Amino acid sequence: MRTEKRFTPALLNRYLREGRGTGTHADYIPWHRVSRSDPASCGRSHLILWRERQRELLSDGEWTGLNFAVMLGNVVDLAEQFPLSHVFAPTELSRWDIRAGTELFPGTVALAKHLGIKHPTAKEKEDVTLWTGTTDLLLVLTNGSRPLTLLAISCKPDTIDNLSKRAHELLSLEKSYWDARGVRWLLITPELYEKSVGLTLRRTACWGLAEVAPEAHTALACRTARLMSASSESDVIQAIAETLMGEDQQYLAQCALWQSIWQGKLPVDLRRGWRPHQPLRLIPEEAFLSLNPIGSGRSAWK
């Protein structure tokens, strides 16, 4: 039986020794992990394989946030449970781009003092240490020949009006941290997107997040779906599978179809639900983009 664990100074020091919060791409180690040796999260945790690394997500909301983020198409890297520095430090972008510079930006200690709030701590008896705040998802984005940029995202399960005063203070601290670095920060809560859209993405994530389908496969999926716009999803997948060669045609067809949708090549109404006997209803690209709060740049923080 899993025992109840608490965050203590000793535990946070162990995180540092383990190199948590360091690395990039496949070598990145999240600060908080889905592990039996870690305190349990309040929500349902998920381990999602994407781009050669297991993503460690502590709630349904974080999983949905990751799905929305992946749909952007220009994500170079995604670091979950990303730790915020206590002290003045260079921009986090310098991990991915040496051109980011060496200018120092304030850490959470200085920012908490500026905001007039108490910096969170972890304690056990007389031992007290600074708590390390985290951002749920930190995206590294590319924009053609321009330098890489960061996008910070916090995912919360409730509306901002229902948050406690302390939770609001900590979100203010997180936002101030990224504001000081010139990084856009979005607060994603359930009222920013339709529940049916989030459920559809989670149901199809096994194909949307799978190994990237060949371009020829996604092009075939787009052509087939448009020609069979009045047919059911099952019939479209079967038609794609019959054209593909080799083994596991059904799985390859699913990947080709849903990656075409996730990438925006085939703008389908994601509110349609999960039933495969229903047709894939195409919608305008603008309407498809509006279903994604991250792609649309919406935030619950006012």
DSSP reduced 3-state for 54:
strand
Q: What pLDDT is attached to residue 4?
A: 55
The whole-chain average pLDDT of the chain stands at 93
In this structure, are residues 93 and 102 in contact, taking their beta carbons and an 8 Å threshold?
no
Torsion of CA 234, 239, 244, 249, to 10 degrees: 20
Type and span of the H or E element at 251? helix 249-262
Dist. CA 208–CA 292, nearest whole Å: 15
Over 50: is that where the pLDDT of 3 sits?
no
**Residue 106, Cα to own-chain centre: how many angstroms?**
25
Would you list the domain boundaries of the chain? Answer: 9-192, 195-290
DSSP reduced 3-state for 136:
strand
Residues 151-188: pLDDT tens digits? 999 999 988 888 899 999 999 999 999 999 999 999 99
User: Does 3.40.1350.10 match the CATH number of domain 9-192?
Assistant: yes
Helices 233-243 and 215-227: angle between axes, nearest 10 degrees: 130
Q: What pLDDT is attached to residue 42?
A: 67
Burial class (CB in 10 A: 0-12, 13-18, 19+), 175: buried
In this structure, are residues 71 and 94 in contact, taking their beta carbons and an 8 Å threshold?
no
Residues 108-149: pLDDT tens digits? 999 999 999 999 999 988 899 999 999 999 999 998 878 899
pTM over 0.85: yes
Higher pLDDT, 7 or 104: 104
Q: What is the mean pLDDT of residues 260-274?
A: 93
In this structure, are residues 23 and 53 in contact, taking their beta carbons and an 8 Å threshold?
no
In this structure, are residues 49 and 108 in contact, taking their beta carbons and an 8 Å threshold?
no
